[in-house]
């Protein structure tokens, strides 16, 4: 599970935007001031379902993480 959903910086984060795009959630966001997090670790799991292969992208570690539960619900 991506830790981004409980982070204060989720709405401005470059790494979260990248992961969101990898999940094909291309919402046309107009973000002006991006936040660049420090020391991130992204985990990519390769899953097979029936005859399809898909990738699951998750941020596992981030030194810039600041906990703010439910912050992702604001937008």
Q: Which of 73, 59, 68 is nearest to 23 (CA)?
A: 59
In sequence order, the 6+-apart residues with CB closer than 8 A to the CB of 26 are none
How many angstroms separate the CA atoms of 24 and 4, rounded? Answer: 17
pLDDT digit string, tens, across residues 29-48: 666 678 999 999 999 999 99
Q: Where are the domains of the chain?
A: 3-74
> What pTM was estimated for this model as a whole?
0.76
- What is the model's pLDDT at position 13? 92
Q: Which of 15, 26, 25, 24 is nearest to 58 (CA)?
A: 15
- What is the model's pLDDT at position 62? 95
């Amino acid at each position: 599970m991506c830790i981004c959903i409980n982070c204060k910086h989720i709405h401005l984060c470059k790494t979260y935007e990248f992961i969101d795009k990898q999940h094909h959630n291309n919402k046309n966001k107009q973000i002006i001031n991006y936040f660049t997090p420090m020391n991130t670790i992204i985990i990519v799991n390769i899953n097979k379902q029936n005859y399809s292969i898909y990738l699951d992208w998750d941020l596992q570690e981030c030194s810039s993480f600041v906990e703010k539960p439910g912050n992702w619900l604001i937008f």
